[in-house]
């Protein structure tokens, strides 16, 4: 418990913030858990169609994106360490790299989806409904929903990192009050972790 | 122990912060003000839900069309359900009395994340607006029932999209409240407040918060999928595209069955506060109540299949779900025995909250036992989707949560507003309400067993007499409701000033002035080794 300039109580409890973020991560895991459950049910019911549909995806871009996210997880973890070592410049630099990698991931995703759209494949498209089997329709439905929801989480993660950068520059996040950056890191790792499951499920298991 | 604040110091109701007037409330991060914001918004939605319920009961006064067409009736029960479930009973006790009382009961100045707490209320309001938008604009009010079952929820021509998104936002609000309470209970208990010294209401909020946190995301993603199904046709629940509508039911009930424990656990907690206070006696089996609370929270996850016995499921799965349903009844029964044993040889002080609590035990017992009829495979096939289910559900959710809500309202009213209500009118309101409640829902058990299906605006002549009684009951019950609310609203403004501890209770909220000061405690209370929430002589 400390006081700010107006003499009001400012409550800061890093432990509470971290518990809060972990609990929130549980909810995110359950959110995606529902989708993983649906994926496994339909994969079990349509093994051949899922195999055929997975052949359509570009494994190279998927692998590249996996490597990118792993590197970004490393850079954000390093930024937390440098903040605790009071190297503010290095922290900001590492966070900037994390953001750039996140944006490159989204750009790759944009082109990947774009190619699918060019081939006439999107949820409810005539080509998909007329020329593909039910299992393939489900595969692509889940592909767009799960990678789309994951991309949304990348965007949210980027927003949290931007907030952390602003606070670090203002000096309200520093080595003794690092909870916001640590939580941004936790969240970014979660986003990375979910992708590590999405990648094999859609691209590798064929 | 904390001494009372001097009378001239500003309390949380009169305190003036950065903003004045209404802004001082809707931007306040004070947990007590947020609790009252929830109270007023929930009561507003509750009255909308009650009016829809009244209209439905009026429609069923006679066979054939009475006041509305079939389509209107379908929309009425859908909207009644969405409002009452997602906006009234799920947030009800945790968001109102949990918010106001939880920090004080554990000796804290506020919840762990006050701004997040305010955000929860804003999200609640946003969810309400979205659902109301579905009613007023577009192609007619939703007509799928509150469960949004696939494939009807994406085939129906009504304006479902905003309602589904509204339910999603309300779920998010509920998650954040649960998260906040969990961290608060873990981090902000005052010195000496060990886990085994926490009041039982706090314990039930703890169990509830875990359910809110771990179950709500599943329905969140399910509702998102329904919305995407409607917008793009992704196929996951659409049998025409290879999807499985029964999978929707599974995912929906994985949340929505635990959600009934979100409704009932804090209700049980409030009753566990009221009964020892008005018996002036240590609660019987404190640890048994805690254990049964956590057992309900845990086993409650594993029983969702009992909503789907007729939907197509393997025999083995049916046996397990039925067995688990019977098992989850055990901890609820333990609590009933605990409450009754607490009253045994107590020095009972008969006041309005105790009337509510005692009638809660009565209706909860009937509701719970009729639940076993539905949890048993053979009888469920017979009464599935009949008025029997509606009667059971309302006995538990309205009889359980609703009675406990009014019990809690009359119990904590003097603390919240610093004034005492007119006890004569409060008791009259309870009696009228209780009689109306029994007359309204009891005939539905009978009608269901005779075979009257639920969710139809019309029925056969042979069901007429039971329906007349039920409709009369709805009028009596609403009369009682009006008496209760008018009495409380009037007393909040003009009632006699209340003492600090009018019921001679032992929990911490009664050690601060009525209404509580802005930050609850000047200095944090310290709980001694021999102090306890129920240490009556």
Query: Is pLDDT at A11 greater than 90 in this prediction?
Result: no
Nearest to B232 among A23, A24, A124 (CB): A124
> pLDDT by residue (tens digit) across B288-299?
999 999 999 999
Beta strands in chain A (DSSP E): 2-3, 9-10
Q: A35: closest CA among A139, A125, A109, A108?
A: A139
* Cis ω for the linkage preceding B161 (within 30 of 0): no
- Going from N- to C-terminal start, the domains of chain A cover 14-204
B225 contacts A123? CB cut-off 8 A:
no
> pLDDT by residue (tens digit) across B212-223?
999 999 999 999
B112 contacts A9? CB cut-off 8 A:
no
For residue A4, the model assigns a pLDDT of 45
Mean pLDDT of B472-489: 98
Query: Is pLDDT at A170 greater than 50 in this prediction?
Result: yes
Burial of B213 (0-12, 13-18, 19+ CB in 10 A): buried
Interface of A with B in 140-199 (CB under 8 A): 141-142, 144-145, 149
Question: How far A160 CA sits from the closest chain B CA (Å)?
Answer: 15
Facing residues of B386 across strands?
Answer: B453
Beta strands in B85-232 (DSSP E): none
Nearest to B243 among A28, A33, A138 (CB): A138
For residue B229, the model assigns a pLDDT of 93
Mean pLDDT of B274-280: 96
Which fold would CATH assign to domain A14-204?
1.20.120
Question: How far A105 CA sits from the closest chain B CA (Å)?
Answer: 24
Question: CB–CB of B380/B458 below 8 Å?
Answer: no
Query: Is pLDDT at B257 greater than 60 in this prediction?
Result: yes
A123 touches chain B (CB under 8 A): yes
Long-range contacts of B504-508 (CB under 8 A, 24+ apart): B504/B277, B504/B280, B505/B273, B505/B277, B506/B277, B506/B532, B506/B533, B506/B534, B506/B535, B506/B536, B507/B105, B507/B199, B507/B273, B507/B533, B508/B2, B508/B104, B508/B105, B508/B106, B508/B107, B508/B190, B508/B199, B508/B533
Which residues in chain A are contacts of B112 at CB distance < 8 A? 13, 16, 20
Distance, in Å, from the CA atom of A148 to the CA atom of A154, rounded to the nearest integer, reads 10
- Under the banding of pLDDT at 50, 70 and 90, the label for residue B16 is confident
Size of interface A-B (CB pairs under 8 A): 102
For residue B15, the model assigns a pLDDT of 83
Helix (H, G, I), strand (E, B) or coil at A155: helix
> pLDDT by residue (tens digit) across A32-82?
999 999 999 999 999 999 999 999 999 999 999 999 999 999 999 999 999
For residue A85, the model assigns a pLDDT of 96
For residue B357, the model assigns a pLDDT of 97
Question: CB–CB of B341/B272 below 8 Å?
Answer: no
Q: Which uninterrupted H or E stretch holds B207?
A: helix B200-232
All structural domains of chain B, each given as residue ranges with its CATH number in brackets, are: 23-511 (1.20.210.10)
Question: How far A43 CA sits from the closest chain B CA (Å)?
Answer: 12
In whole numbers, what is the pLDDT of chain B averaged over residues?
94
Query: Is pLDDT at A2 greater than 70 in this prediction?
Result: no
- Under the banding of pLDDT at 50, 70 and 90, the label for residue B8 is very low
Mean pLDDT of A183-188: 97
Mean pLDDT of B478-496: 96
Question: CB–CB of B518/B114 below 8 Å?
Answer: no
B236 contacts A46? CB cut-off 8 A:
no
Question: CB–CB of B199/B123 below 8 Å?
Answer: no
Question: How far B235 CA sits from the closest chain A CA (Å)?
Answer: 6
For residue B4, the model assigns a pLDDT of 44
Which residues in chain B are contacts of A35 at CB distance < 8 A? 221
B244 contacts A144? CB cut-off 8 A:
no
Query: Is pLDDT at B529 greater than 80 in this prediction?
Result: yes
Query: Is pLDDT at B17 greater than 90 in this prediction?
Result: no
Mean pLDDT of B298-317: 93
For residue B2, the model assigns a pLDDT of 38
For residue B18, the model assigns a pLDDT of 79
Question: How far A142 CA sits from the closest chain B CA (Å)?
Answer: 7
A137 contacts B235? CB cut-off 8 A:
yes
Question: CB–CB of B52/B44 below 8 Å?
Answer: no
Name the DSSP letter for residue B504: -
* pLDDT greater at residue B18 or residue A109: A109
Backbone angles phi, psi at B236, to 5 degrees: -65, -30
Query: Is pLDDT at B3 greater than 80 in this prediction?
Result: no
């Amino acid at each position: 418990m400390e006081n700010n300039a107006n003499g009001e109580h400012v409550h800061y409890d890093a432990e509470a913030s971290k518990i809060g973020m972990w609990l929130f991560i549980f909810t995110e895991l359950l959110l995606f858990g529902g989708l993983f459950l649906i994926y496994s049910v339909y994969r079990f019911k349509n093994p051949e169609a899922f195999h055929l549909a997975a052949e359509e995806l570009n494994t190279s871009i998927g692998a590249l994106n996996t490597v990118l996210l792993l590197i970004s997880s490393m850079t954000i973890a390093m930024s937390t360490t440098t903040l605790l070592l009071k190297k503010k410049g290095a922290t900001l630099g590492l966070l900037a790299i994390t953001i750039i990698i996140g944006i490159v991931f989204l750009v790759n995703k944009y082109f990947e989806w774009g190619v699918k759209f060019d081939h006439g494949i999107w949820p409810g498209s005539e080509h998909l409904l007329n020329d593909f089997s039910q299992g393939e329709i489900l595969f692509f439905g889940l592909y767009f929903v799960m990678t789309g929801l994951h991309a949304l989480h990348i965007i949210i993660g980027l927003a949290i990192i931007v907030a952390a950068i602003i606070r670090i520059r203002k000096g309200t996040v520093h080595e003794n009050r690092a909870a916001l950056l640590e939580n941004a890191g936790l969240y970014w790792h979660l986003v990375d972790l979910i992708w590590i499951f999405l990648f094999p499920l859609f691209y590798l298991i064929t | 122990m904390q001494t009372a604040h001097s009378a001239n110091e500003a309390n949380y109701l009169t305190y003036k912060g950065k903003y004045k007037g209404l802004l001082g409330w809707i931007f306040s991060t004070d947990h007590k003000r947020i609790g009252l914001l929830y109270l007023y918004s929930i009561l507003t939605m509750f009255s909308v839900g009650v009016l829809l319920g009244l209209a439905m009961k009026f429609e069923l006064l006679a066979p054939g069309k009475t006041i509305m067409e079939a389509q209107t009736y379908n929309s009425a029960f859908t909207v009644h359900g969405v409002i009452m479930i997602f906006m009234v009973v799920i947030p009800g006790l945790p968001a109102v009395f949990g918010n106001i009382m939880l920090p004080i009961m554990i000796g804290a100045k506020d919840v762990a994340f006050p701004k997040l707490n305010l955000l929860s209320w804003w999200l609640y309001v946003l969810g309400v607006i979205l659902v109301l938008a579905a009613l007023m604009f577009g192609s007619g009010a939703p007509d799928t029932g509150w469960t949004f079952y696939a494939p009807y929820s994406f085939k129906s021509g009504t304006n479902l999209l905003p309602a589904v998104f509204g339910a999603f936002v309300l779920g998010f609000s509920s998650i954040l409240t649960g998260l906040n309470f969990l961290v608060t209970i873990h981090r902000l208990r005052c010195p000496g407040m060990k886990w085994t010294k926490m009041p039982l209401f706090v314990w039930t909020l703890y169990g509830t918060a875990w359910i809110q946190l771990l179950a709500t995301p599943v329905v969140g993603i399910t509702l998102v999928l329904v919305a995407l199904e409607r917008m793009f046709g992704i196929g996951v629940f659409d049998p025409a595209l290879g999807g499985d509508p029964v999978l929707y039911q599974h995912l929906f009930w994985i949340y929505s069955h635990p959600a009934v424990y979100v409704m009932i656990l804090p209700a049980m907690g409030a009753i566990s506060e009221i009964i020892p206070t008005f018996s002036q006696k240590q609660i019987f089996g404190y640890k048994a109540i805690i254990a049964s609370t956590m057992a309900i929270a845990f086993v409650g996850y594993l029983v969702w299949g009992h909503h789907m016995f007729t939907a197509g499921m393997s025999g083995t799965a049916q046996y397990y779900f039925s067995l688990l349903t019977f098992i989850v009844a055990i901890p609820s029964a333990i609590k009933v025995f605990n409450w009754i044993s607490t009253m045994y040889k107590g020095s009972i002080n008969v006041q309005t909250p105790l009337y509510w609590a005692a009638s809660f035990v009565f209706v909860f017992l009937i509701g719970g036992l009729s639940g076993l009829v539905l949890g048993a495979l053979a009888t469920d096939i017979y009464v599935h989707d009949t008025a029997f289910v509606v009667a059971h559900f309302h006995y538990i959710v309205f009889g359980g949560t609703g009675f406990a809500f009014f019990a809690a309202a009359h119990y904590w009213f003097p603390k919240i507003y610093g004034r005492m209500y007119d006890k004569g009118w409060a008791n009259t309101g309870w009696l009228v309400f209780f009689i109306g409640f029994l007359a309204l829902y009891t005939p539905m058990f009978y009608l269901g067993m005779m075979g009257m299906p639920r969710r139809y605006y019309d029925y056969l002549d042979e069901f007429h007499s039971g329906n007349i009684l039920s409709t009369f009951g709805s009028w009596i019950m609403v009369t009682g409701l009006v008496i209760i609310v008018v009495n409380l609203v009037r007393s909040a403004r003009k009632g006699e000033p209340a003492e600090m501890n009018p019921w001679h209770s032992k929990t911490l909220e009664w050690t601060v002035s009525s209404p509580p000061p802005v930050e609850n405690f000047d200095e944090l209370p310290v709980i001694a080794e021999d102090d306890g929430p129920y240490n009556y002589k």
